Copies of this chain bind each other. A is one copy, B any other.
Amino acid sequence: MSGYVSDAVIRRLPGYYRHLRELEAAGVRQISSQELGRRMQLTPSQIRQDINCFGGFGRQGYGYTVSDLKEHIGDILGLSQPHRVIILGAGNIGGAVANYPTFAREGFQTQAVFDIDEEKIGTNVGGAEVLPMTALEEYLKEHTADIAVLAVPAREAQTALDRLYIGGVRAVWNFAPTDLNHPEDMIVVNVHLSDSLQILSYRMAHRRTE
Residues of A at the B interface (CB closer than 8 Å) are 10-11, 13-15, 17-18, 22, 76-79, 81, 83, 91-93, 95-97, 99-103, 106, 108, 146-147, 153-154, 170-171, 173, 177, 179, 185, 187, 189, 191-207, 210
* A92 proximity list for chain B (CB < 8 A): 92-93, 95-96, 99
Copies in the complex: 2
Contacts of A198 in B (CB 8 A): 13-14, 17, 77, 79, 106
Complex contact B79–A201 (CB within 8 A): yes
Q: A78-B201, A101-B177 are in contact. List 5 more A-B contacts (CB 8 A).
A: A14-B195, A79-B201, A92-B96, A92-B99, A101-B154
Complex Cα spacing A178 to B93, Å: 19
Taking a contact as CB atoms under 8 Å apart, the answer to whether B77 and A193 are in contact is: no
How many angstroms between the C-alpha atoms of A201 and B97 in the bound complex?
15
Q: Which residues of B contact A187 (CB under 8 A)?
A: 200, 203-204, 207
In the complex, what distance in Å separates the CA atom of A185 from the CA atom of B204?
10
Task: Report yes or no: A11 in contact with B199, Cβ–Cβ below 8 A.
Answer: yes
Contacts known (A101-B154, A204-B146); A189 close to B199, Cβ less than 8 A: yes
Once A200-B171, A204-B78, A205-B78 are accepted as A-B contacts, the answer to whether A15 and B195 lie under 8 Å apart by CB is yes
* A171 & B204 in contact (Cβ 8 Å cutoff): yes
Q: How far is the CA of A17 from the CA of B197 in the complex (A)?
A: 12
Q: Taking each of A95, A198, A202, which has the highest tally of chain B beta carbons within 10 Å of its own beta carbon?
A: A198
Bound CA span A13–B196, Å: 10
Residues of B with C-beta under 8 A to A78: 201-202, 204-206
A53 to chain B, nearest CB (A): 14
